[in-house]
Amino acid sequence: MRVLVAGGAGYIGSVTVDQLVAAGHDVTVIDSLVAGHASALNPECEFTQGDVRDEAVLGRLFAAHTFDAVINYSGYIQAGESVQQPGRYFANNVTGAIALLNAMVTYDIRRFVFSSSAAVYGEPEAVPITEEAPLRPVNPYGESKLMVERMLPWFESRFGVRSVSLRYFNAAGATEERGEDHRPETHLIPNVLQVPLGKRQSLALYGTDYPTRDGTCVRDYIHVSDLAATHLLALDYAEKRSGAFNLANGVGFTNREVIESARRVTGHPIPLTEEPRRAGDPAELVASNERARAELGWAIEFDDLDAIVDSAWRWHQTHPDGYPD
Ligand SMILES: NC(=O)c1ccc[n+]([C@@H]2O[C@H](COP(=O)([O-])OP(=O)(O)OC[C@H]3O[C@@H](n4cnc5c(N)ncnc54)[C@H](O)[C@@H]3O)[C@@H](O)[C@H]2O)c1
């Protein structure tokens, strides 16, 4: 199969590209490198540096290849920033998806896999969150993901484009070659590991009075390899059907438990400073993955927090400054 991966130089996209190449697929990546890294790209994929909203670039790519499917990771990813800059988020995340879908229609490509997010649910009424839970984003980032999800059935009914929306919870961990290098980094595990790496003195822990088992937020971490693997299953699924799936471990860990895990894995004491809650951080975000298991045939390999943290720690030790570019 020839697959176009938009945003394939980013954290999750680069791991998926490796898995697609290993499975024998031909992979083309388009990435503007606004947040991705050229050195995260598998040398066997074909790479175009460009913005997916640039119709001329997309037109050239689609005219030159016969793609069987498109996976879209491209977009901005920081929920907090999206509250400050809603227009920038809608312009990139929604317009980018529309540009890809329009090109797919023009070139008669019928399979689309979309990186959605847990953020489409907003503050859940109940956990674990199932796909039937109300979709009520609480920030423009989540809203932009939901807007794309809501467009997809219209492209299916009019043009037969089947799509799979994958609602990721917290992506974490690394493979030997690819790891997490967001700038700025807003995710807990890479930030915790900056302390044993000597990049910061202590970690700020936001909110210690939540109604959870130790007062800190509970989140659902899913290893990036397990996430990437689902995209290959989703490509098969989209051959016949469309759907939306939670990609989650189904087990939540508190922030303190993640820090304890990092202390065990690294052998470093990791000092903390306790700070007030941050606005908009729900107490608990844990999801059911039953639909993805039953319908996509997904099997999670990394269900152990220490194993996830250990994989990240190995990568950060070999890449203390992240990717070179
Ligand atoms: N990391 C997570 O925990 C998480 C959780 C939920 C959802 N997601 C979603 O998964 C996707 C990938 O996340 P990630 O952590 O790998 O992010 P990332 O920032 O590492 O990757 C996104 C990639 O898209 C590229 N990009 C952005 N806008 C572009 C544009 N207009 N044209 C071309 N390329 C563009 C960036 O350069 C980057 O390489 C995102 O859509 C994100 O919203 C991530």
Residue 7 pLDDT: 98
pTM for this entry: 0.97
**What CA–CA distance (Å, rounded) separates 135 from 71?**
23
Residue 6 pLDDT: 98
Residue 194's closest CA among 210, 182, 207? 182
User: The tokens of 91 are what?
Assistant: 């312009």
Residue 291 pLDDT: 98
Q: Which atom of ligand 1 is nearest to the CA of 52?
A: 32
Among 5, 11, 88, say which to mutate for ligand 1: greatest number of ligand atoms within 8 Å of CB: 11
Residue 278 pLDDT: 87
Residue 51 pLDDT: 98
Q: Is 82 in the pocket of ligand 1 (CB under 6 A)?
A: no
Q: Whose CA is nearest to atom 41 of ligand 1?
A: 73
Q: Which atom of ligand 1 is nearest to the CA of 35?
A: 37
Q: Is 10 in the pocket of ligand 1 (CB under 6 A)?
A: yes
Query: How many A from CA of 43 to the centre of ligand 1?
Result: 20
**What CA–CA distance (Å, rounded) separates 169 from 286?**
8
Query: How many A from CA of 268 to the centre of ligand 1?
Result: 31
| Residue ranges, the chain, pLDDT below 50 | none
Q: Which atom of ligand 1 is nearest to the CA of 187?
A: 3
Q: Is 144 in the pocket of ligand 1 (CB under 6 A)?
A: no
Residue 87 pLDDT: 98
Residue 280 pLDDT: 78
Pairing of strands 111-117, 69-72: parallel
Residue 3 pLDDT: 98
CA–CA distances in Å: residue 310 to residues 14, 16, 43, 194, 268? 19, 20, 26, 14, 13
**What CA–CA distance (Å, rounded) separates 72 from 93?**
10
Q: Is 48 in the pocket of ligand 1 (CB under 6 A)?
A: no
Residue 281 pLDDT: 85
**SS3 (DSSP) at 284:** strand
Q: Is 31 in the pocket of ligand 1 (CB under 6 A)?
A: yes
Query: How many A from CA of 65 to the centre of ligand 1?
Result: 23
For residue 19, the tally of other CB atoms under 10 A from its CB is 17
CA–CA distances in Å: residue 175 to residues 11, 115, 224, 310, 324? 11, 20, 8, 10, 17
Q: Is 35 in the pocket of ligand 1 (CB under 6 A)?
A: yes
